[in-house]
A and B are shown apart, each in its own frame.
Chain A
Amino acid sequence: MTFALDTAAPNAEAPPANALTVEGLTTSIRIAGRWFDAVRDVSFTVGPRETLALVGESGCGKSLTALSIMGLLPAAVGRVSAGRIVVDGVDMTAADEPAREAMRGDRIGMIFQEPMTSLNPVLPIGFQIAESLIQHRGLSKRDARKRVVELMELVRIPAAEERLDAYPHQFSGGMRQRVMIAMALACSPRVLIADEPTTALDVTIQAQVLALLADLQKQVGLAVLLITHNLGVVASVADRVMVMYGGDVVESAPMRSFFKAPTHPYSEALLNAMPRVDRATALAPIPGQVPTLPDMPAGCRFQSRCPLRVDKCAERPPLVPMASDPAHAVRCWVRAGA
C-alpha cells in the first residue's frame, strides 16, 4: 500500500500493484465559451482492498474527478486536458472510446449520488443489472438472470427472485442504491467509485449501505474511491483521506493521522464544522462558499476564506510531505514544513 505524491512515477512494466492510478489529472470545464480548470493536477493511487476518501464541500471538483476517471465527462462542456489515468494496468487516457467502454462496468464501476434518478424508470431492474454481464461477459439472458439473483442477494435485497422484473418505482431509495451497487459490482470490477452514495438516503439506511459496501469490499478485494462531504463517514470506512478545495488537493493523509493532526486550514475548518459527540462547543460553519470557477483567485484557491492568509498565498503553494510524517502532505505556505 504505497502512497504516491505528485512526484511518484510508477513503473509501467511491473504488474499493476495499484488498481487505480491517477497522475497529474487536470479537467477543464467550458463556461460561457471559456475553459477553466475545475480539477488541477490531481494525483493519487488506490490499492486493492483500500478505501480512499475524497472530501470537500460541494463544488470542489470531486464529481468531476470521478467522471474524468470513468471517461463520462459531459462531452460538450468538459474535457481531461492533462494527466494519466490507469485502471487495472490499462491507460484510460490513451485508450479510444471502444476500449474505454470495455473497461467501464467491467473493471471499473461507479455508483452515483441520486438513487432516485440514476436507474432507468422503464426497464426492469433485473435486466438493468444483467446488462453489463451480457455486454462484457457475453452471458445469455437466462444465465445472466441467475447471476443477477445472486448479486441481488449479495447486496441483501429481500425476495430477489420475485423482484427481478420489478421496476425502479417499486423500490425505496435505499433499495435502489443497493441495485446500483449490484449493478456496479456485476462484473467483479477491481475499482469502485462511489460518488456520495449515501447523501440522498436516510441516516439509518446510510449506515446500512456503508456497512454493505465495506463488507463487499472485504469479500471481493475492491479498491474504493469514496467521495463524500461527511467526515463521519470518512472516519468509519476510509484508509486514507484526500481533501479537495477548488479543484486542488489541499491535504492528503492516512485516516488516523488526518483526524489526529488536520493540517490545512480548510481541513481544520471542515472538522470544526462537523457535529461531534465528544465536543460540547458550538459548530463553526465555514464562512463564505467555494468561489465559482470564473471567480477563483490566482494562487491558493482557499485564500478568500482563509484565516491564516499571508501575501505569499497569491502564489500557488505546492503539495509537500510533512517533515513529521512523509505520508501526510499539505498544500499550504503557512502550514507546510511544520
Chain B
Amino acid sequence: MLRFVAKRLALAVPTLWAVLTLVFVLVRIVPGDPTIVILGDQASPAARAALRERLGLDQPLWSQYWDFMVQILHGDLGRSLVTNRPIITDVGAVLPFTIELTVAALVIGVVIGVPLGVMAARRRDGFADWFARIFSLAGLSFPAFVSGILLLICFAVQLRWFPVISTANASDPMERLRALVLPAFNLGLIMVAYVTRVTRSGMLKALGEDYIRTARAKGLPQRIVVWRHALRNVLIPIVTVIGLYLGVLIGNAVVTEIVFNRPGLGKLIVTALNQRDYALLQGLMVVSAFAIVVANILTDLTYGLVDPRVKTA
C-alpha cells in the first residue's frame, strides 16, 4: 500500500508541472496588452513601461517561465495588482469556505445518492426506482445557479428556515452550519444525481454476478448480500464517477458561492475579474489546478482502498 501511495504521488509531479505550464501559457496568450487592460488606454507609455517592469513582462519568455515556476515552488503566488497584498494570504483566508462547501456537497451526494441507487436497483421499476430516475434527471438538468435561486426562494425567502444573506463568517458554529445547508444541498444535488445513477446501474449489474449467487448459497440474508457483497463491488465505479465530477463540482462551487453570496474562491474570482487583477487570476488558476490534482490523487488512493486488485497488482 505504501509503495502504491508513493508511486501515485510521484506520478502527480509531471501532471502538476504540465498544468502549471498550461496556466502560464494561457495567461500569456490571452489577447490584449495586460498593461492597457490594467491601466486603461489613457495611460502614459512611461506608466505602462513601469508596470511591465513590475510584472516582469519585460523579461524574455523563458526567464518569465523560470521565475513563475521558482515562485510557485516557494509557495509564493505573487501579489495582487490592486491591493498589493500577497495572493496566498487572500486565497488562504477564503479557501476553508470553499473546501467546507465542496466536502459537504460530496457527503450529501454519497449519503443520499448511494442508498437511493441501491433501493432503486433492488426494486427495479418500483417506486424508489422511479423517484431515483426523476430525481437524478432533475439534478442533472438544472444549472447550479437556477437550482440555487429556487432553493433560496423556497427555503430562505418563503419558509425562512435558512438565512438569505450568507452568515458563513459567523463565529457561532450552529449559525455557520445553518448557512452551509442550502448551498451544500444546491451543490450536492448534482452529485446526488451522478452517484444515484452509477450506483443503480452498478448494483443492477452486480446483483446478477456469480459471486452474489455464492453469497446467497451461504445462507446470508438479503440485506448482507446487497450491502456487503454487491455494494462493495459497486464502490469502484462510484469512486470513479466522484473523481471524474470533482472538477465539475469545484466549478459549480464557484457558481454556488456567488448565488448564495458566500465567501470563497468564487467571490474572489469575481473580484479579480471585475478589477482586472490578472496576477490574482493567475494565482487562482494555480490554486484550482492544485485542487484538482489533489482531488485526483485522493480519488486514486481511494481506489486502493475499495479495490484490492489495485494495490496488490
| A is bound by B | yes
Q: Which residues of A contact B (CB under 8 A)?
A: 70, 72, 98, 101-106, 109-110, 112, 114, 117-124, 131-132, 135-136, 167, 169-170, 180, 183-184
- Interface contacts (Cβ under 8 Å), in number, total 79
How distant is the Cα of A132 from the Cα of B221 in the complex, in angstroms?
11
User: Does A104 lie within 8 Å of B213, measured CB to CB?
Assistant: no
Q: Given the complex of chains A and B, what is the CA–CA distance between A153 and B216 in angstroms?
A: 24
Expressed in whole angstroms, the Cα–Cα distance for A183 and B235 within the complex equals 25
B309–A169 contact, CB under 8 A? yes
A131-B215, A167-B312 given; name 18 further pairs at CB < 8 Å.
A72-B213, A101-B221, A105-B219, A114-B210, A118-B210, A118-B213, A120-B211, A120-B229, A120-B232, A120-B233, A121-B233, A122-B236, A132-B219, A135-B219, A135-B220, A167-B309, A169-B309, A184-B217
Asked if residues B211 and A119 are in contact (CB atoms below 8 Å), the reply is yes
Measured in the bound complex, the distance between the Cα atoms of B215 and A119 in whole Å is 9
CA distance A135 to B219 in the complex (A): 8
Given contacts A167-B309, A167-B312, whether A104 and B216 have CB atoms under 8 Å apart is: yes
Kindly report which residue of chain B lies nearest to residue A186, judged by CB atoms: B218
Closest to A74 in B: B208
Q: What sequence of 0s and 1s flags, for each residue 213-244 of chain B, a beta carbon within 8 Å of any chain A beta carbon?
A: 11111111100100011001101100000000
What residue of chain A has the Cβ atom nearest to residue B208's Cβ? A74
Report 7 cross-chain contacts, Cβ distance below 8 Å, ordered by A residue.
Answer: A105-B217, A106-B219, A118-B210, A122-B308, A123-B232, A167-B309, A167-B312
Given contacts A101-B221, A169-B308, contact A123 B229 (CB under 8 A): yes
Given contacts A120-B232, A121-B309, A122-B308, contact A104 B219 (CB under 8 A): yes
A122 with B214: in contact, given A102-B219, A132-B219 (CB under 8 Å)? no
Closest 9 CB pairs of A and B: A105-B219, A104-B219, A105-B218, A117-B210, A167-B308, A120-B211, A132-B218, A118-B210, A110-B217
> Do A112 and B213 touch (CB < 8 A)?
yes
Bound CA span A98–B221, Å: 8
Chain B at the A interface: SS class? helix
What CA separation (Å) do A117 and B219 show in the bound complex?
A: 19
Residues on B facing A (Cβ under 8 Å): 209-211, 213-221, 224, 228-229, 232-233, 235-236, 306-309, 312
CB neighbours of A132 from chain B (8 A):
218-220
Q: Choose one: A102, A103, A114, A170; the contact of B312 (CB below 8 Å).
A: A170
A106 CB contacts on chain B under 8 angstroms: 219
Kindly provide the distance from the CB of A118 to the nearest chain B CB, expressed in whole angstroms.
5
Known: A122-B307, A122-B308. A72 touches B216 (CB 8 A): yes
In the complex, the answer to whether B214 meets A180 with C-beta atoms within 8 Å is yes
Flag if B211 contacts A121 (CB, 8 Å): yes
- State the CA gap A102–B236 with chains docked (Å): 31
A120, B220: Cβ atoms under 8 Å?
A: no
A124 to B216, CA, bound (A): 17
Contacts of B233 in A (CB 8 A): 120-122
Which among B220, B235, B312 is the interface contact of A131 at CB below 8 angstroms?
B220
Cα separation A117 to B213 with both chains bound (whole Å): 10
Give the CA-CA distance A76 to B221 in the complex, in Å: 19
Q: Is there contact, CB below 8 Å, between B214 and A120?
A: yes
Contact (Cβ within 8 A) B214 A118: yes
Q: Enumerate chain A residues within 8 angstroms of B236, measured Cβ to Cβ.
A: 122
B-chain residues with CB within 8 Å of residue A112 when the two chains form the complex: 210, 213-214, 217
A96 to B215, CA, bound (A): 18
- What's the minimum C-beta distance from A261 to chain B, rounded to whole angstroms? 36
Q: Give the CA-CA distance A72 to B222 in the complex, in Å.
A: 12
**A117-B211, A167-B312 known; A122 and B221 CB under 8 Å?**
no
> Nearest CB to that of A133 among chain B residues?
B218
